[in-house]
Amino acid sequence: MSGFVTASAHGQTLSDVPDAGFRPTRGVFVPEAIRAGDGDATAVELNPGQLPLLGHADVAAIVDGWRAAAAMPGRGGALLLGLPLSSAFGFGAGLQRVLTGSNFDDGYTKLQFGLGVGGRNFGIGATWAHLWGDGVAGTDTFDVGASARLWSRAALGFVIEDLARPRLPGAAAPLSRRWVGELALRPLGTDRVEVAAAALHLGDEAWSRIGTRFRAGVKLAGGWRAFSDVEVLPRRPLPGLAADGTDVRLTFGLAAAFDHASIALAARRSFVPANEPGGAWGGSFVVHHSVERTAPSASSAKAVRLDLHHLESDRTFLQTALRLRALAAEANVTAVVLAIDDLELGSGRVEELRDLVGELRRNGKQVVAYVTFPSTRDMYLASACDRVVLHPAGIVELVGMVQAVTFYKAAMDALGVSLELVRIAEFKGAMEPFVMTSQSEPVRRNRNELLDDVYGRILAALRDGRAAQPSSPGAAGAPKAPLAKDAQALVQKGTFTPEEAQQAGLVDAIRDEDGLADYVRTLTGAPALALERHADGAPVRPIRWPDRRTAVILVEGAIVDGPNEELPLGGGGLAGSDALVGALDEARRDPSVRAVVLRVNSPGGSAFASDVIARAVARVRAAGKPVVVSMGDVAASGGYYIAAPSDAIFAEPSTTTGSIGIFGYKLDVSGLLAKLSLSTEVTTRGPHADAMLPFRPWTPQEREAAQQKIRHLYQMFLSTVATGRQRSGLTVDRVDQLGRGHVYTGAQAKALGLVDELGGVTAAIDRAVALSDIPLRPGEAPELLVLPRPHASLLKRLAGFAQVSDEEPPKLAAPLRPLIRLLGPYLFGPGEGIEARLPFELETK
């Protein structure tokens, strides 16, 4: 509905008063009609310029119950839809029945479609509508509009209604265009308080005759919201009515939010001269349903279950981390159940989840881990929770950690294949399986150092997390079961039945799925507590108009030249320098991005690609935007190379990092060809043209040239790290002492000055926001732009190369997984042979 109405139109036919406030091309009255700022399903009726601003799909149902004798137009019902088609386009549709008399048959129907184009804060759009029914049969009309959110505190909206000036059946003249402009303000920068002023002008009226409208909305506690508006319109001289004065309409109402839905009730009254009809009360009812979630007004407590599985993708892990943080802030969530099943994460990301569990508990949530066949890794996470519940058919496998390396040299010798390796330095053992039959002593010693550090932390966490504690205040549950022995002794036993696990203090209760909810209710002392089967991961409606945001750039998998790729059969991903540099450059150029979090979960890869990415990171910082690195399970070698030029580096204590070093290699298959009675004939111009072909070994001169090349790249690596870590007092010589391929845990790296802080991706986001000019209140989540945007070709989806569903991809056999991850960049990516790569992986069983 236009919102600008004149009560005095009562009693006139549609053709008699075509330009009165009662405009027949308008639809059902919309309380708190918003033409500037937020966009929702009502945009198709109020301002099509808001359609591109839709963040997610929204549906609105409106019923206006004004009495027929009261003369206020806009009675009836409407169903409206708003749908974002892409980041630039928005679509709207509506079907409305507008009543003009006391019966349902007295009125007309309006069908409308709208399309808008724009961006995050600006849009233009148009709506076409067709009307049929009493007095409007066959009428078509068009509206155009524009909307702009100038910054977080101000927005403008502008609409031209009835642009083509349709002529109603039997009317002497076409309808005038109506011009509406609105300025909306948020004095506090959030949706807590919003005020707006609008002006209305009819195209055939003098500019001195402008109607005005003022609206205000205040967000109350618990998701409730109060709103009101008043319209003042100069009276048009019509037969039988006063020729001067004004008509006034007052509306006020209350809205309540319920997660994805909201309900608004509004009352309105028109004020007209005593001898004219229309001075009566009426009301409207509006229901919205949106993909976005809003702060619920219902105060009833609930428990939420979140299934932690298939989190291997760092994009999925990031979504889960943000959901856990959001749960910590939701006042009506009293308990969170984490279903931990086959948690295929490294120790670093498990520690990130432990941090988030701690945040939940600090915010007063009871956190329950529900496990079926928990491994050491699963128990490491579960021990951070208030209680651990085991399925009756489950088994605890507390077997510790393992690091396995498969050596291929003997098999290659038998096949007649050899690999020539040049490296810096003694700890750079990534290719040792292809040139040795066992690990070198420096690499073996480094591996054991890491195992000892991570393993000791896991044992301490199990001991401290399972320490006996009194029941939480107000909870009816029994105290946590104390650990019967030291954690090392429990690992010696390894396997526990449910009863043994409970006796040992590893779990607190044994329950099946049906008994889990009752256990949570008993623990919280709330017999009627509802347990949501799945935590709602839908986005939360932002409380600010989009303004300044943080970009999170995901670096996942081995670093290669070219685009991002996915290895087949669950072999992992390839982080392409083209995609990452493009993402960094987009963040640098986008004025709305004020800080960048570089999320690195990579063992390294191409030395050249790593250098290219590191230079792009430096360009972002040179543009005045802080860059904070968040290390996941692993950010080593090339992964550390790209992290070094940042403003701050965050890692978890068990993150694998360091490995500052370079290696290069070439294959020689001449022996294999001879065994197969195959021969090759190579024609060259230049003595070294075929140096990288796999048909002969390097000459001593070629080997020295390869060594010289990696020395050059190693010096660049040292210089990049020393420049980026000046704040820690690291020099090139000191970086060389710490480098030479040596691998560290995050805790060790922090002590050495290679890492700034211990923490996960949410802590890194907090630091990036603090270093920027993004205005946030305590506990408020910043708007995030996650890059690179996910993309997979239809061919790859059909072939299963890209994981695009929640189904777990097929896994490689354990001995083949390291092989495919080492050679994958060359089999499936444009690897160029000089690598900065981690020498081994640690796995918690």
What is the torsional sign of CA 477, 479, 481, 486?
Answer: positive
**pLDDT per residue as tens digits for the range 335-352:** 999 999 888 899 999 999
Please give the angle made by the CA atoms of 716, 718 and 720, to the nearest 5 degrees: 65
| Cα distance between residue 412 and residue 418, in whole Å | 6
**Which of 717, 826, 756 lies closest to 425 in space, CA to CA?**
717
SS (H, E, C) 573-631: EEEEHHHHHHHHHHHHHCCCEEEEEEEEEECEEEHHHHHHHHHHHHHHHHCCCCEEEEE
Measured in degrees and rounded to the nearest 5, phi and psi for residue 513 equal -60, -40
- Give the per-residue pLDDT at 810: 47
Name the strand (E) or helix (H) holding 166.
none
Whether the CB-CB separation of 403 and 840 falls below 8 Å is answered with yes
User: Which secondary-structure segment (H or E) carries 657?
Assistant: strand 656-658
Tens digits of residue pLDDT in 488-502: 999 999 999 999 999
Which positions of the chain have pLDDT values less than 70?
1-22, 66-72, 235-245, 272-280, 295-299, 468-478, 534-537, 567-572, 791-833, 838-845
Backbone torsions φ then ψ of 9, nearest 5 degrees: -75, -10
pLDDT in tens, 144-201: 999 999 988 999 999 999 999 998 887 888 888 999 999 999 999 889 999 999 999 9
Reading the block at residue 478, the tokens are 């029994």
pLDDT at residue 832, as a whole number? 45
Q: What domains appear along the chain, each with residue ranges and CATH number? A: 7-290 (2.40.160.60), 302-398+467-532 (3.90.226.10), 549-678+692-844 (3.90.226.10)
Query: What SS3 state is found at 254?
Result: strand
DSSP 3-state assignment of 570? helix
End-to-end CA distance of the chain: 63
> Phi/psi of residue 165, each to 5°?
55, 70
Reading the block at residue 556, the tokens are 């996942």
Residues sharing a CB contact under 8 Å with residue 188, sequence separation 6 or more, in sequence order: none
- Let me know: does 284 contact 63? Beta carbons within 8 Å: yes
Tokens of 642: 């790209």
Q: How many angstroms separate the CA atoms of 784 and 595, rounded? A: 10
For residue 464, what are its two tokens?
């401290």
> What is residue 466's DSSP assignment?
T
Q: What is the pTM of this model?
A: 0.85
Helix (H, G, I), strand (E, B) or coil at 462: helix
| CA distance linking residue 306 with residue 410, whole number of Å | 47
DSSP state of 40: -
**H-helix or E-strand spanning residue 745:** strand 743-745
188, 349, 593, 720 from 627: Cα distances, Å = 28, 21, 11, 15
Rounded to whole angstroms, the Cα distance separating 312 from 718 reads: 31
